[in-house]
Chains A and B, each alone.
Chain A
Amino acid sequence: MSSGHSASLTRKVHVMDTKAAGYEFIEHTADLAVRARAADLPELFVQATRGMYALLGKFQPGSQAIETTIEVHAPDTESLLHDWLAELLWQLDGQGNLFERFHFTRFDAQRVTGHCYGTVYDKAASERLVEIKAVTYHGLRIEKRGDMYEVTVVFDI
């Protein structure tokens, strides 16, 4: 399975229609939340990632290409998504790694292996909007609505 996207990431809010894959920011009593929707779970992970990036800032890709493999294992799919996003958050905050394309070679109930392709983002040309302290577990539940998977991820900022 693969989910390839190469468009540069912006903070434009993608207001989803109920049939298409995408993400949107939603009002939340505490901090900021992203709702992602997709036809399959790998695409849901990608849309949640894009939503998190869009929350973090307006990024411009840099000139240094990078690729890495991220492997997470957890007792359930929600925890897998949590760990996946936490890993990508650390990649961005700790290393400046911004990924644009993802290719999953394994995706099962307790383990996900994704190959991530992107760049070290261009700090001078990018604008960081918020600092996410962490991806929380709050209300984290992946649900099937019709043909689509949907999840809301709350971030502590």
Chain B
Amino acid sequence: MTDVWTGPLEKIGETKFRIPRTYKTFMRVDGIVYADDALVGQITKDKAPEQVANVASLPGIVGASLAMPDIHWGYGFCIGGVAATDPASGGVISPGGVGYDINCGVRLLRTNLTRQEVEPVLPVLIDGLFRDVPAGVGEGGKIRFSHQEIRQIMQHGPRWLVDHGYGWDEDVSLCEEQGRLEGADVDAVSDRAMQRGHDQCGTLGSGNHFMEVQYVEHIFDEKIADVFGLHKDQVTVLIHSGSRGLGYQVCEDNLHDMRDLPQRYGIELPDRQLVCAPVHSKEGQRYLSAMRAAANFAWSNRHLLAHLARQTFAHRFGKSPEQLGMHLLYDVAHNIAKMETHTVDGRELTVCVHRKGATRAFPPGHPDVPEKYRAVGQPVLIPGDMGRASYVLAGQPGAMAESFGSTCHGAGRQLSRSAAIKASHGRNIKKELAAVGVYAQARGRTGLAEEQPEAYKDVNEVVHVVERAGLSKRVAKLRPMGVIKG
């Protein structure tokens, strides 16, 4: 890694470091990085903390420019960044604060199968998923939709798919926002975005996206696990994907259209990738409308991927998905911007919360948590790397008090893709994974190398920090058994 960061990082608690607003004249608020002594050394290995400081320059930012312990270098915003802006005080929306993969997120299916039942057929099951679930660069979906149908999907999300025979009714209520952001305007999505993504609903894509079969290795909180329907040795299916080419193009289009705006609105930015527009401006509203449509597309994408996984399991085990208990546990977005109500300096404000590689983590009692989970807090799904573990957490009151209802989103990269490929030379990653009990199938030649466990920080440490910080609580640890990748 290059460009070690040497700016000020003041320890202000066991799991909190501050970049004081005096660090740069453009900073309007402090930067806060959640980390412990062990992780902070890794965090300063790149310029991500500088990006936390840069985000603090956004007009209307309130509270602090926040970074979760899985922070790593991104474009404009760091990955793992959270920023809330107040539209009433000139607050802006920045497409870079959402990222190119709008509503990249995670979905977790439960089953009533045990690890012992699945292990003997694991290679056949994973090969079946690899065959049935479209993955890889530019791969089109098995289920094709007309442009008109894609417009419906962008407007209504998974609800439309359920009404047309894909998935279960209960799936809709168990998505963040019920899989549909209000205020989507399909006409704000360009023809190009449609063309790039119209055949990609129900496809995993490439990069760090995957579908994983796992088992519950450890339960941290029996009471919450019981409410989430999780128990030891139970098999689960984790799906990580986003809005595919459609979302990338929506971001690209809006970054382009906003290029001249900072000058026009008199906004000075330390990085042109932070380009933004006031939330209440025509351009800001246009981006938000298109982003919401792309977000609804992403929820639909994961909904269809889950549908395909259910079919493969049903075929392999000779039982219906219902008999196999393949209920949706939850679906979370980790690249998104939303209007939410938060208390800032004792005042209740409606703010625009950017979560770029961060997950909503609403606490027990919050009205936006589905009724069946409301007493224990919103499920938070944290995918780790292929060799270690993923986690199910529950939102905690600390998130509302400190981080605009947000927590971490994953392990966080520590090696660049090219460094990871270099580090894998002369090794067989597939065999190495098999040696730790993970059967992997990947479409691309470099996919496994780029995503090898060493490319990531230790997710165990990351979730331990957010728990100690009071943002979310560990409920269950999921161990990978098999994975398919693009």
Interface residues of A (CB under 8 A from B): 25, 27-32, 57, 74-75, 79, 83, 86, 90, 93-95, 128-131, 133-134, 136-138, 154, 156-157
Contacts and interface: CB of A to CB of B under 8 A. Distances in A.
Contacts of A133: 100-101, 207, 248
Contacts of B210: none
Interface string B373-417: 000000000000000000000000000000000000000000011
A156 B249 CA distance: 12
Contacts of B227: none
A137 B100 contact: no
Nearest to A156: B100
B2 interface: yes
B130 interface: no
Contact of A29 (B3, B205, B252, B446): B3
A120 to B, nearest CB: 13
A137 B138 contact: no
Contacts of B57: none
B192 A90 contact: yes
Nearest to A86: B252
B207 A28 contact: no
Contacts, number: 81
Interface in B208-260: 245, 248-249, 251-252, 255-256, 259-260
A136 B272 CA distance: 10
A138 B100 CA distance: 14
A93 B417 contact: no
B419 A131 contact: no
19 contacts: A27-B2, A27-B419, A29-B46, A30-B73, A30-B74, A75-B259, A83-B256, A86-B252, A90-B192, A95-B195, A130-B207, A130-B444, A133-B101, A133-B207, A134-B248, A137-B272, A137-B273, A156-B100, A157-B207
Contacts of B74: 30
A15 to B, nearest CB: 15
Contact of A131 (B2, B207, B249, B417): B207
B206 A130 contact: yes
A80 to B, nearest CB: 12
A130 B447 CA distance: 9
B51 to A, nearest CB: 11
Contact of B252 (A32, A74, A79, A134): A134
Interface string B62-77: 0000000000011100
A33 to B, nearest CB: 9
Interface in B411-453: 416-419, 444-446
Nearest to A94: B195
Given A90-B192, A129-B446, A29 B416 contact: yes
A31 B417 contact: yes
B468 interface: no
A28 B418 contact: yes
B273 A138 contact: yes
Contacts of A134: 100, 248, 251-252
B67 to A, nearest CB: 16
A38 B3 CA distance: 27
Nearest to B419: A27
Given A29-B47, A31-B417, 16 more contacts: A27-B416, A27-B419, A31-B416, A32-B418, A57-B137, A74-B259, A83-B256, A90-B192, A93-B196, A93-B245, A94-B192, A128-B138, A129-B445, A134-B251, A156-B75, A157-B417
B5 to A, nearest CB: 11
Query: Across chains A and B, which 10 residue pairs bring their CB atoms closest together, nearest first?
Result: A128-B137, A133-B100, A133-B248, A94-B195, A131-B137, A131-B206, A134-B100, A29-B46, A137-B272, A94-B196
Contacts of B251: 134
B428 to A, nearest CB: 19
B31 interface: no
Contacts of B272: 137
Interface in B1-45: 1-3
Contacts of B138: 93, 128, 131
A75 B416 contact: no
B75 A29 contact: no
Nearest to B198: A94
B105 interface: no
B357 interface: no
A133 B246 CA distance: 10
A144 to B, nearest CB: 21
A57 to B, nearest CB: 7
Contact of B136 (A27, A79, A128, A154): A128
A30 B192 contact: no
A101 B486 CA distance: 31
A77 to B, nearest CB: 14
A28 to B, nearest CB: 6
Contacts of B418: 25, 27-28, 32
Contacts of A25: 418
A28 B416 contact: yes
A75 B260 contact: yes
B206 to A, nearest CB: 5
A74 B252 CA distance: 15
Given A27-B419, A93-B138, A156-B75, A131 B205 contact: yes
A32 B417 contact: yes
Contacts of A27: 2, 416, 418-419
B1 A29 contact: yes
B245 to A, nearest CB: 6
Contacts of B256: 83, 86
